DNA sequence: GCGACAG
DNA sequence: ATCTTGTCGC
């Protein structure tokens, strides 16, 4: 059983491996979304990875994995709760994506090692962190128009608040692994074609919910 | 002690 | 995360 202190030690040991520069395929062909769904009245969780054609956003493949959660939700130790199911789902994919967008923070984290960073370093793959709310840091003067950006400071810049639709609450983009913040921010905006959240996240959430329902039948 | 706290 | 439907405010 992993203790809280041991989990923090793992983060401290791995965070130096994060690469915050662009090391990704030139034309990106396949982009992935990753999300985990929770059962309301049990300890079951379902992780899903959905693969999309980068240019058409058509679904190429989906893989999911249901299991009992093995670690509690503790702010700052989120990856230890969600990553096991995501790794199992990832192993079931028929092909690998060029890039993954995670539902959660990358280095916009108290120890600079959130879910997207942990997942990226573990897979040695480019990963973007895109959270719906912030974990830490502050921002100001975010414009109201789609595409507006404000740096998330803690006290140095750890990510961006990004307005993905006019007058709608921003999302929080940060480096996970093998990508720069400007590139990550642009890609997230590009994935937000119609809603606040990237299509990758919306679809992963949808398929994770289906996997959970199917597992309970 | 108080508030904040990814999902 | 899960609570969910109609309602308040711009």
CA dist A42 and A137 (Å) reads 33
Match 């990550």 to its residue by tokens. A184
**pLDDT score for A207:** 95
Near-strand B residues (CB closer than 7 A): A 35-36, 38, 73, 75-79, 103-105, 109, 114-116, 129, 131-136
A37 touches strand C (CB under 7 A): yes
In this complex, the nucleotide whose C1' atom is nearest to the CA atom of residue A40 is: C2
| pLDDT value, residue A104 | 96
Share of chain A above pLDDT 90, in %: 96
Residue A64 structure tokens: 């999911």
* pLDDT, position A217: 75
pLDDT score, position A140: 93
Using C1' positions and the CA of A172, the closest nucleotide is B6
Q: Which nucleotide is nearest to A130 (CA to C1')?
A: B6
Q: pLDDT tens digit string along A194-208?
A: 999 999 999 999 999
Q: Residue A215's pLDDT band (boundaries 50, 70, 90)?
A: confident
Predicted confidence band at A151 (pLDDT cuts at 50, 70, 90)? very high
Whether residue A118 has pLDDT greater than 80: yes
Q: How far is CA A182 from CA A5, A22, A74, A126, A216, in A?
A: 33, 10, 29, 14, 41
CA A50 to chain centre: 12
Query: Which of A110, A83, A92, A99 has the alpha carbon at shortest distance from A8?
Result: A110
3-state secondary structure of A109: coil
Please name the residue whose C-alpha is nearest to the C1' of nucleotide C3: A40
The nucleotide minimizing the C1' distance to residue A133's CA is B6
* Cβ–Cβ under 8 Å, residues A79 and A114: yes
pLDDT at A79 exceeding the cut of 80? yes
pLDDT of residue A29: 98
Can you give the residue ranges of every domain in chain A? 29-216
Quickly name the fold that domain A29-216 has. archaeoglobus fulgidus dsm 4304 fold (3.30.2170)
Which nucleotide's C1' sits nearest to the alpha carbon of A106? B6
**A95, A30, A25, A24: which is closest to A56 by C-alpha?**
A30
Q: Crossing angle, helix A115-123 and helix A4-14, to 10 degrees?
A: 60
Q: Binning pLDDT at 50, 70 and 90, where does residue A138 land?
A: very high
For residue A70, name the pLDDT band (cuts at 50, 70, 90). Answer: very high
Decide: helix, strand or coil at residue A203.
Answer: helix
Residues 91-130 of A with CB under 7 A from strand C: none
- pLDDT tens for each residue of A30-63: 999 999 999 998 999 999 999 999 999 999 999 9
Pairing between strand A59-68 and A44-53? Answer: antiparallel
Give distance CA A138 / C1' B2 (Å): 19
Predicted confidence (pLDDT) at residue A24 exceeds the cutoff of 80: yes
- In the sheet with A171-177, reading across from the earlier edge strand, the strands are A59-68, A44-53, A30-38, A99-103, A127-131, A171-177, A157-162, A149-153
Interatomic CA distance for residues A14 and A114, integer angstroms: 11
């Amino acid at each position: 059983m992993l203790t809280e202190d041991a989990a923090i030690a793992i983060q401290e040991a791995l965070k130096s491996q994060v690469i915050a520069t662009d090391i990704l395929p030139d034309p990106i062909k396949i982009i992935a979304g990753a999300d985990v769904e929770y059962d309301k009245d049990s300890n079951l969780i379902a992780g899903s990875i959905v693969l999309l054609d980068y240019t058409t956003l058509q679904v190429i493949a989906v893989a999911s994995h249901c299991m009992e959660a093995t670690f509690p939700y503790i702010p700052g130790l989120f990856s230890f709760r969600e990553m096991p199911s995501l790794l199992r789902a990832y192993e079931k994919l028929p092909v690998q994506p060029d890039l993954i967008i995670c539902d959660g923070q990358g280095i916009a984290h108290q120890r600079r090692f959130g879910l997207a960073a942990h997942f990226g370093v573990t897979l040695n793959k480019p990963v973007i962190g895109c959270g719906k709310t912030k974990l830490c840091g502050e921002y100001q003067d975010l414009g109201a128009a789609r595409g507006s950006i404000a740096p998330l400071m803690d006290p140095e810049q750890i990510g961006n608040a990004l307005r993905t639709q006019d007058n709608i609450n921003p999302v929080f983009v940060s480096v996970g692994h093998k990508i720069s913040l400007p590139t990550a921010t642009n890609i997230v905006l590009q994935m937000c074609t119609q809603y606040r959240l990237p299509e990758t996240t919306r679809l992963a959430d949808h398929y994770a919910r289906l996997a959970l329902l199917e597992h309970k039948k």
